[in-house]
Each structure stands twice: as structure tokens, then as C-alpha cells.
Amino acid sequence: MTYPTSGDYVRAVQNPERAFRVRSFQQAKFAVDPILRIPMPASGNAAVVFKAEVDGADHALRFFIRDDVSTKDRYGALGHHFAVRGLNDCVAQAMWIEDAITVKQATWPVLNMQWVEGRTLDAYAGHLAENKDGEALRKLAMSWRAVVDRLQQAEFAHGDLQHGNVLIDTHSALRLVDFDGSWIEAFNGGPPPAETGHPNYQRTGREWGRWMDTFPGLVIYTSLLVLARRPELWGLLHNGENMVFSHDDYAPPFATGTWHAVSEIRDADVEYAVARLRDACSPQWRAAATLEALLRPVVNGAGAPTWQAVPVAASDPFAPWWVKSAAESTNPAQPIGLPSGPSAPPPPPLVGVTAGSSALPPPPPKLSQTVSGPGVPSYQGGRASGWYPPPTQPSAGWSPRPPAPTGSAAPTRPPSPTRSPGPAIAIAIVIGLVVTVFGAIAGMGGFAILVGIFATTVALPLLLRAGANRGP
């Protein structure tokens, strides 16, 4: 079975009344690219996502471009797990709709999610670093560690923790998206997904399962600690597909420029996290416990370390700086993490930490926004990889309802996409130059120069305007 391509979906959603077999989607108004004036999706390994207004509310419609283990039953099981374990406030809710769209004379599913404004983790961290807001980066590291601990205590593994799958919403809460590679107990015994995670956040030889988030969680946590102490490293180490570390940094002998830069930071908390990350890069290391357990080594009676979570006191030399700070501000230190299991009580939160903290500054606004027509939502991407922001957790109380199909829609060829003015501008400039050169050779220099000036005068403003609209 050959899945549609991104281009196939782009052409299809330009005519929603004919493409969709779901009544509410047939009236959807898709966000369009401000230059090309056609719907442009964010592309991933397994799917593409469009922003669309459906029944007066913004949604993220996710279409698959390859075969994977993602199914209606799988997403149903995830939704049940999120609800039972109380994770709905920090993960995206979604509804799988079978046979929702007709493309290439076949019907395909859509994953329907409500759209929530926000910024991806790298955009938010980069904004804080560029403003040298080390205190906010410190709080972000605290919130991140709390979120990972909460997910792992709930026996859930995301499978692709990386900057693009973590969103900071307008209330400064952390939200996770994209669960194609996730694990819960119900998936044991089934085939692992093809999604193996972003390479800049995964070590070689990662095994799919409950503890696969420990390593990437540590990578992000350590990166935020590093940036909190040295915000200027963002401009040196960020390459557009990472935050601080990249896949090449995870192999001994750890002699890359990144390790050299972070090793110069004289801070006990950073040094400890960096040491734990280096240990986790060892070929003999295997993820077998939570991130909290990795960060909290405890020496047993025989003198060997056992990796388990225990209460942390402010006097403990391994205590994170926020525990020490809390003790100094008369707030007693609370336990960080408890053993999981059917009889274990819910773990207490980290000191002063929640999944979304009002103490964090709000994310910066998007770069710009243009309206392509009356009532049609539009956006302009702030990232080279596509539009921004990605879909995430719906607001409280949102519950997707399965829309009723209206019957098969006859597949038709959608209208051709609007062409960009870029080629026309280039042609005008080339014509002007050619006429000028050959006119001069033929002895018609004055006429040729006039034609060249006219072509350049027409083309140059269009070129400048197109460049301004395209944005960074």
C-alpha cells in the first residue's frame, strides 16, 4: 500500500468539500502560506500536520505519509491511559477518525487535535538565552525534570522527547505532542514502532520500552542547566536541530567542542548533570530506571550505587540547587520521586515545580501573521522546518466528537496551487540583463539600457516585498 505524499495532501485539502468524507471538515478553512497562498503543512517522519479552522475553532489535522503501528486502537489506548493516570493536562488529546479523506482514489484516516498557541522548546529556550535570562532557564529545567518524573511515574514513555515535540503554551505550561513512538503497558508484546526518535537526543542502541525517555530527558535537562549558567552557548552550540548536544557528542572519548565548552562551567549542579550524561553515553549503560533514579545515586550497604529515587534533603551534597534554595527560603525540602507500583502512593511534586509554572515568562509572540482572505486563518513560519507552532494539548473541557460521515466523495483533481512570484521576478531580471548586454553589442546601447532599467524597476520592488514577506 502506497501512502499519499505531503504534496498529495496539500492538493487535496485545497478543495475540502470534495476531499473530505466528514461534514465538519468539508467546511474547514486551512491556514495558508503567505507567499504561495496554499495550505502548507509541518512535515514529520510519519505524518504531516495542517492547521485548520473547524466549526469555529482551530484544530491540527494530522495525516499519515507512511505505514506505521499507529492505529485507532493504539490512540484509543493512549487516550485511556492519559485519562486514568491524570496526564491530560500535559499531553495532547487526539481523536482518530477512519476514512476521513479521499486521496489517490482511496480513503485515509486523520488524527484530529485542537490547536493551542505556543512555542517549541528550542524556540522558547533560545529566546531566554538570547535575553540572558538564566533564572528563567533554571526554572524551565526544574519544570522539565518534574514533567519527565511525572510521566515516568505514570508508566508512560513518549519515545521521541526532543525540542520539536515539547511546546510551551501561552500559560507557560509544558505540553507534549506526537505519540507515534510511545509506550504503555498495553503495548507490551506488540511490534515496536518505526519511529526511533530524533538522533540528536538518542544514544546508539536505544531500546523501545518503558525507560527509553530517561536518556533524552537527561539530555534536555542538562542542556537547560548549561544554558542557565552560560546563555551565550546557545549561539555557539545550537544548530537548528538541537539545543546544546548532538548525536556525535554521545560517543567516547567526549572530545567534541560541545564537551569542551560545558566542561569549562564551574557549577556543581551542571557538573553533576554533565557527569551523569557522560556515564549514560557509555556503551555498557542500559536505561533501566527513571530520570530521577539516574540523578539520585544511593550507596547501599555494600558500597555499590543503586539507582533508585529517594527523598532529598537540602543538606545532601547531591541535592539540586532548587532544593537548597527552597531550604534557605524556609520551604522544607520534599521527596523527589517514589517507587512506582500498584500500592505506591502518588509521588509528591518537586519543590516549587509544576508541569506549567506561572513563574516562567510567557513565550515570545510569533514573528508575524498575515490574513489571506476573509475568515481564513493564516500564519507565517518562524522555523526553517515549517510553520509554527505545532499542535498540542487542547484547552480544559475540550472533548472531540466523532463527526458523522456524509458518504463517499468522488475523487477529483484539486485546483493547481497558486504559483509563487519568485520565478517571474527572476525571469524579468534575466531579460533586462540579456537585453542590456546584447543591445550594447549591437550598438543599441541607449535603448537596451532603458529596457534593462524598466525591467529592474518592476522586478526589484517585487523581489524585496517577497523577501520581506518570507521572513526569517
- Rg (C-alpha) for the chain, rounded Å, is 26
Contact 63, 127 (CB under 8 A): no
CA nearest neighbour of 158 among 117, 125, 121: 121
Cell of 246: 548532538
Contact 259, 246 (CB under 8 A): no
DSSP category for residue 68: -
CA nearest neighbour of 132 among 224, 258, 227, 245: 227
What pLDDT sits at residue 224?
Answer: 98
Helix, strand, or coil (residue 349): coil
**Kind and range of the H or E run holding 80:** helix 72-84
- The residue assigned the cell 527509553 is 212
Strand runs labelled E in 161-246? 166-169, 174-176
What pLDDT sits at residue 70?
Answer: 83
CA nearest neighbour of 226 among 212, 213, 239, 243: 243
CA nearest neighbour of 184 among 166, 158, 213: 158
Peptide bond before residue 253 is cis, with ω within 30 degrees of 0? yes
Cell of 30: 486551512
* Edge-first strand listing for the sheet containing 118-120: 118-120, 166-169, 174-176
Contact 90, 137 (CB under 8 A): no
Distance CA 42, CA 62 (A): 9
Contacts of 454 (CB under 8 A, 6+ apart): 432
Contact 125, 227 (CB under 8 A): yes
The number of beta carbons lying within 10 Å of the beta carbon of residue 440 is 14
The number of beta carbons lying within 10 Å of the beta carbon of residue 438 is 11
For the chain, how many residues are written? 472
Distance CA 210, CA 389 (A): 28
Contact 278, 254 (CB under 8 A): yes
Contact 4, 104 (CB under 8 A): yes
Backbone angles phi and psi of 119, in degrees to 5 = -130, 145
What pLDDT sits at residue 380?
Answer: 30
Q: What is the pLDDT along the chain (472 residues), one digit of tens a residue?
A: 789 999 999 999 999 999 999 999 999 999 999 999 999 998 878 899 999 999 998 999 999 998 877 889 999 999 999 999 999 998 878 899 999 999 999 999 999 987 877 899 999 999 999 999 999 999 999 999 999 999 999 999 999 999 999 999 888 999 998 898 999 999 998 888 888 899 999 998 899 999 999 999 999 999 999 999 999 999 999 999 999 999 999 999 999 999 999 999 999 999 999 999 999 999 889 888 999 998 876 444 444 443 333 334 455 444 444 344 444 333 333 222 223 333 333 333 333 333 444 478 888 876 544 333 333 332 233 333 333 333 333 333 344 444 444 444 433 333 333 334 445 445 555 555 554 544 444 454 554 444 455 545 544 444 444 443 333 3
The alpha-helical segments, DSSP class H, found in 281-319 are: 291-295
Cα 1 to chain centroid distance, Å, stands at 29
Distance CA 414, CA 361 (A): 44
167, β-bridge pairs: 120, 175
Peptide bond before residue 389 is cis, with ω within 30 degrees of 0? yes
The alpha-helical segments, DSSP class H, found in 154-247 are: 214-229, 233-237
The alpha-helical segments, DSSP class H, found in 2-51 are: 6-13, 16-19, 23-26
pTM above 0.85, yes or no: no
Helix, strand, or coil (residue 414): coil
What pLDDT sits at residue 105?
Answer: 93
